[in-house]
Structure 1
Amino acid sequence: MPKAKLLLLEDDTSLSETVCEFLVSKDYDVIPVYDGKEAEVAIYETRFDLLLLDVNVPLLNGFQLLSRLRLEGKTTPAIFLTSLNAIEDVEEGYESGCDDYLRKPFALKELLFRIETLLKREFFHTPQARLRIDEHVEYDTATHQLYIDQKIVQLQNKEAKLLKLFLQKKNEIISHETLMEHLWDFEETGSDETLRTYIKNLRKIIGKERIVSLKKLGYKFTLA
């Protein structure tokens, strides 16, 4: 499985280095940045699995940065790592869209627990339990069931896993390799031909235009 990619926004270079070394030792891919603008550029250029954000950083503070991202529809989970410990600060952190708030100084092991817990979640910042795919089709993120005109549509196991992954990474390019790793367990043998068959079947159910094939790159799922 590919390593989870984390962004660390921390302007204290010593702390940044310590956190990076620890998380890399735990098999995470960590990209350190040192001000809010640098973080913003990195988030637009790279797909991260989790954001670790200090608040009092140069150019654009963590609260402002995350508020912008949430307004633009970016749902990447985020943890604030900050010395701001007043209840008003915690409230502002959650209102800006964070998933967790960790006060400094913190134990590296506690940070690891919080990261692992968040990465186990399947959907982030979805306003309703049902995701609307178009005017006729919805997906229930709690029960993982597909509805067409309010009626449940039964999917085969691989097609259900495929749809769930597409919805978790909507509007992102997903490589063939990632799709293969997600659909087939270690003891199973998949193939490009079988993958194309599952995608073809899914297109018949939810609409051909939803799953865009990008030559040599993979596929992208688009919502209405």
Structure 2
Amino acid sequence: MKAKILLLEDDLTLSETVVEFLEGNGFELYTAYNGEDASSLIYEKNFDILLLDVNVPLLNGFELLKQKREDGVKTPAIFITSLNSIDSLECGYESGCDDYIRKPFALKELLFRIENILKRGYFHETNSKIKIDEYIDYDTNTNQLYIDNKEYSINNKESLLLKLFLQNKNETIIHETIYETLWQYEETPSESALRTYIKNLRKIIGKEKIVSIKKLGYRFTS
């Protein structure tokens, strides 16, 4: 499955250049040219990373990301900007960004920054350990679950599923979204395999945490 990237950039030439380069490196790109359109796209779709120019019409990148973080959106974000001051840098990180790249930049540098963030496991967290409840922690780097300090290993597909659940707590995730997340485009999704992954996770973290929504998908309750 291709990682989905939202690019907010009002310079059409730069936007087209970045889109062409990143699509050529296996990413799926969505574009917006003002902050309000970007906000709508973030609401409508699940992105793996946000690339946000700061000085754009209607709603600047800082305010956009600040609003989304307040709404609970944890998608990793990189600011793309020509601003150079320390105050601007501070403002960017305070609004919730994960990285910052100044114009002009090399496309390969942007690619390295994107890949580095995605390797963290798609979480806007400084600590790799995510607390699931009072007794359960999950390390997004090692794919280890810890229950009362006892280690439990889960396989790659189960870890992708758990990360998807943790990113979308208390929301119904439809089967199609789960299939897109767990299986690469050249792989064939398996309903029976998904049921097995669900069963295995329930055994470890508790059946009540993963709720089946009939004919739709699943909901992870926190």
Normalising by the residue count of structure 1, what TM-score does the alignment of the two structures yield?
A: 0.82
Contact 1:213 1:219 (8 Å CA) reproduced? yes
Q: 1:202 to 1:55 in 2, by over 3 A?
A: same
Partners of 1:47 and 1:203 in 2: CA distance = 24
Instruction: Give the match for residue 183 of structure 2.
Output: 181
Q: 1:87 to 1:208 in 2, by over 3 A?
A: same
Deviation at 1:61, TM superposition (A): 0.7
Q: 1:191 to 1:28 in 2, by over 3 A?
A: closer
| Pair 1:211-2:213 in alignment | no
SS in 2 for 1:98: coil
Q: 1:45 to 1:197 in 2, by over 3 A?
A: same
Amino acid at match of 2:51: L
| Pair 1:198-2:200 in alignment | no
Greater Cα shift, 139-148 or 61-70: 139-148
Greater Cα shift, 57-66 or 150-159: 150-159
Deviation at 1:191, TM superposition (A): 4.5
Contact 1:4 1:49 (8 Å CA) reproduced? yes
Q: 1:141 to 1:176 in 2, by over 3 A?
A: closer
Partners of 1:78 and 1:162 in 2: CA distance = 20
Summarize the alignment of residues 63-82 of structure 1 with structure 2, pairs less than 5 Å apart.
63-82=62-81
Deviation at 1:194, TM superposition (A): 3.8
Deviation at 1:121, TM superposition (A): 1.5
> Unpaired runs of 5+ in structure 1?
none
Partners of 1:139 and 1:197 in 2: CA distance = 20
Partners of 1:159 and 1:177 in 2: CA distance = 10
> Unpaired runs of 5+ in structure 2?
none
Summarize the alignment of residues 56-95 of structure 1 with structure 2, pairs less than 5 Å apart.
56-95=55-94
Partners of 2:168 and 2:26 in 1: CA distance = 26
Instruction: Give the match for residue 106 of structure 2.
Output: 107
Contact 1:5 1:30 (8 Å CA) reproduced? yes
Summarize the alignment of residues 136-147 of structure 1 with structure 2, pairs less than 5 Å apart.
136-141=135-140, 143-147=142-146
Summarize the alignment of residues 114-133 of structure 1 with structure 2, pairs less than 5 Å apart.
114-126=113-125, 129-133=128-132
Instruction: Give the match for residue 25 of structure 1.
Output: 24
| Pair 1:52-2:51 in alignment | yes
Deviations 1:37-86 (A, max 9, x none): 11111000011111010101111110111111122221111111101011
Partners of 1:124 and 1:155 in 2: CA distance = 19
Greater Cα shift, 45-54 or 211-220: 211-220
Residue-pair matches, total: 217
Deviation at 1:180, TM superposition (A): 4.8
> What's the RMSD between the two structures over aligned residues?
2.8
Deviation at 1:118, TM superposition (A): 1.5
Partners of 1:51 and 1:11 in 2: CA distance = 15
Amino acid at match of 1:45: E
Partners of 1:158 and 1:115 in 2: CA distance = 21
The structure showing larger relative contact order (alpha-carbon pairs under 8 Å, at least 6 residues apart) is 2
For residue 154 of structure 1, the aligned residue among 133, 152, 155 is: 152
Contact 2:78 2:97 (8 Å CA) reproduced? yes
Deviation at 1:131, TM superposition (A): 2.4
Normalising by the residue count of structure 2, what TM-score does the alignment of the two structures yield?
A: 0.82
